[in-house]
Chains A and B, each alone.
Chain A
Amino acid sequence: MVASAQGVRSGSEDDLALVAQFRDGDEEAFVALVRRYHGLMTRIACRYTPSHAVAEEVAQETWISVLRSIATFEGRSSFRTWLITILVNCARRQAATERRAVPFASLDDGAEAAVASSRFFPPDHPRWSGMWTTCVSSWSEVPDETFLAAEAMALVRHEIDRLPAQQRAVITLRDVCGMPAGEVCGLLDLTEGNERVLLHRARARVRRRLEQYVEAAC
């Protein structure tokens, strides 16, 4: 896994150019799309499957479906949305036929306070109930290089990989891909409220990890 400036957030125009080339028989254009989206797809499929291996199968099966149905892709939605829709359908079908899907995870999955409650005065404090007990750094003095460092990227990636499957699917689509929240809700069948709860928990975990990293780096 490599962090680079190009990737799943890059323009949909670029995707469309690759789609046009692969329809004309350009294998490298097809492989470029596979490399761009396959990792994302296995992470999303994990939400529906019991193991990474099954998620990997689902992602591969999705590419086969893409080959079969690319003639029907008219570019009305972005290629990415079209692709993820096929993926989610494949994953659901797999889960339904094999009956080995993980039970729908509850929202309590991996719930931890976004910030440790020990950092706030307790509710029964006569004056400062719920107020910070410690100072908080805004990270404004932290140079960009600290966040751009390969080590920081690796930590963030590792933390996202460790998240419960639902949180991982949401943060991957919303923040890694930059997909609009409404589209994430539609793809994952979540209400807006539940999507934000999952996103909040996921972002909070990554923030805590970055906080430890920044404190160690400074």
Chain B
Amino acid sequence: MLTCQEIVSFVTDYLEGGLRPQERLAFERHVAICPPCRAHLAQMRRTVETIGRLTVDDISDGAETALRHAFRDWRTGAGDP
């Protein structure tokens, strides 16, 4: 029987499909009868879901301006952009 601490350490392997069938079964058996581990698994799922809502769309004005110039050079075929 896995301990709760082991369940916590395997949670990403479980969610990512990285456990062998036997390990997966043991994980699921534990979680089925252990409310705090079930809650922890739910927290991890919610965490992943929340991270998935992030975007990384930041760029400085200076960098954007430089890239606009590079694009215009490219469009006019002015050699190396």
Contacts and interface: CB of A to CB of B under 8 A. Distances in A.
Interface of A: 1-9, 22, 25, 27, 30-31, 34-36, 38-40, 43, 56, 59-60, 63-64, 67-68, 114-115, 117, 120, 129-132, 134-140, 147-148, 152-153, 156-157, 160, 171-172, 175-176, 178, 181, 192-193, 196, 199-200, 203-204, 206-207, 210-211
Given A9-B52, A130-B3, A207-B43, A196 B12 contact: yes
Contacts of B49: 147
Interface size band for B: 35 or more
B52 A31 contact: no
B24 interface: no
Contacts, number: 165
Contact of B38 (A1, A138, A199): A138
Interface string B37-65: 11110111011111111111111100110
A188 to B, nearest CB: 15
Contact of A31 (B37, B42, B67): B67
B3 A131 contact: yes
B4 A196 contact: no
Contacts of A117: 5
B29 to A, nearest CB: 15
Nearest to B7: A130
B56 to A, nearest CB: 4
